[in-house]
């Protein structure tokens, strides 16, 4: 999916994330009706300059949890049944291999220090049967930076840390690895939509945890959180989900 252009001057950006269900975790492809419905919604969003970008992720059995603490790395392969993934930021990477993508995670942790990351491969058009798989098909991975106390306070990083992060982003961009990146504002600015027993409930943040892993996301350019929630509700009318999280992107 390609970004839309010329976002509205008064718009804010939100990351709308739908969570894993048992069917998604099994790796079952979406039905033709769902693919058509999402295609129309994305087309409408792009035409209205609301939809910026979005990706779906493969099951947690193909993901990895990487924890860095006191200079040591602990790597755990999925599947994950109780990940408690609450996101502080993301990076969409293109790499030659999973090992190369992990090496970039090492560089990120070298800058940030103790941090927990979830990394998983992105569903491509050929994974959904929409086109033949090309030769030397690219490998793309979504990196999710797990929320911690310091990121929830929205305290700005110290200038030296910002400079190091900026240098790493430049390095990844020049290497053709970094496709998109962003930080998320505090969960108190977010919302959740929960589906249970045929009913939906919208809850405002803050949130202390999230039980399900992310199955996919969309970046939206909209004037308010309420508008982002409306688009998320429309998505939930097409795809059967248990929960959708709406989070504002940090400014700048």
Residue range 231-240, pLDDT digits in tens: 999 999 999 9
Q: Determine the distance from the C-alpha atom of residue 202 to the mean position of all C-alpha atoms in its chain, rounded to a whole number.
A: 20
Q: What distances in angstroms separate CA 12 from CA 50, 155, 240, one per listed residue?
A: 10, 20, 27
Rg (CA), the chain: 18
Contact 154, 186 (CB under 8 A): yes
What secondary structure letter does DSSP report for 1?
A: -
What secondary structure letter does DSSP report for 252?
A: -
pLDDT at 11: 76
**How does pLDDT run across 3-55, given as a tens digit for each residue?**
333 444 567 999 999 999 888 999 888 899 999 999 999 999 999 999 999 99
pLDDT at 10: 65
Residue 209's pLDDT band, with cuts at 50, 70 and 90, is confident
**How does pLDDT run across 47-89, given as a tens digit for each residue?**
999 999 999 999 999 999 999 999 999 999 999 877 667 899 9
Residue 186 has pLDDT above 70, yes or no: yes
Q: Determine the distance from the C-alpha atom of residue 217 to the mean position of all C-alpha atoms in its chain, rounded to a whole number.
A: 5
Contact 57, 121 (CB under 8 A): yes
Locate the DSSP E strands across the chain: 12-19, 51-56, 64-69, 72-77, 87-95, 115-121, 139-146, 178-183, 191-196, 199-204, 214-222, 243-248
Lowest mean pLDDT among 10-14, 114-118, 190-194: 10-14
Residue 136 has pLDDT above 60, yes or no: yes
Residue 252 has pLDDT above 70, yes or no: no
Lowest mean pLDDT among 8-12, 163-167, 206-210, 223-227: 8-12
What is the longest distance spanned by two Cα atoms in the chain?
50
* Cis peptide leading into residue 195 (ω within 30°): no
pLDDT at 178: 97
Helix residue spans in 135-190 (DSSP H): 149-152, 159-174
C-alpha–C-alpha distance, residues 244 and 209, integer Å: 14
Contact 244, 16 (CB under 8 A): yes
Q: What is the mean pLDDT of residues 192-196?
A: 94
The model's pTM is 0.90
Lowest mean pLDDT among 96-100, 130-134, 151-155: 151-155
For the chain, domain boundaries = 12-248
Q: Is 5 helix (H, G, I), strand (E, B) or coil?
A: coil
Q: What percent of the chain has pLDDT over 90?
A: 74
C-alpha–C-alpha distance, residues 101 and 92, integer Å: 10
Residue 1's pLDDT band, with cuts at 50, 70 and 90, is very low
pLDDT at 199: 93
C-alpha–C-alpha distance, residues 34 and 28, integer Å: 12
pLDDT at 5: 36
């Amino acid at each position: 999916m390609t970004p839309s252009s010329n976002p509205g001057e008064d718009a804010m950006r939100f990351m709308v994330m739908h969570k894993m269900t048992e069917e998604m975790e099994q790796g079952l492809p979406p039905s033709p009706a769902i693919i058509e419905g999402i295609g129309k919604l994305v087309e409408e969003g792009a035409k209205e300059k609301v939809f910026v970008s979005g990706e779906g992720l493969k099951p947690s059995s193909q993901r990895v949890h990487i924890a860095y603490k006191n200079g040591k790395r602990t790597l755990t392969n999925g599947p994950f049944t109780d990940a408690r993934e609450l996101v502080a930021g993301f990076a969409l990477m293109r790499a030659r291999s999973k090992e190369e993508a992990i090496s970039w995670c090492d560089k990120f942790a070298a800058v940030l220090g103790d941090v927990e990351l979830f990394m998983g491969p992105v569903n491509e058009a050929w994974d959904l049967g929409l086109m033949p798989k090309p030769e030397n098909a690219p490998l793309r991975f979504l990196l999710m930076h797990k929320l911690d106390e310091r990121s929830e306070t929205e305290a700005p990083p110290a200038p030296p840390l910002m400079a190091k992060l900026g240098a790493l982003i430049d390095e990844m961009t020049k290497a053709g690895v970094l496709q998109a990146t962003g930080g998320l504002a505090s969960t108190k600015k977010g919302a959740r939509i929960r589906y249970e027993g045929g009913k939906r409930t919208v809850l405002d943040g803050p949130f202390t945890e999230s039980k399900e892993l992310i199955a996919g996301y969309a970046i939206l350019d909209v004037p308010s959180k309420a508008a982002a929630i409306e688009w998320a509700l429309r998505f939930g009318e097409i795809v059967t989900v248990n929960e959708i999280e709406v989070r504002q992107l940090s400014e700048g």
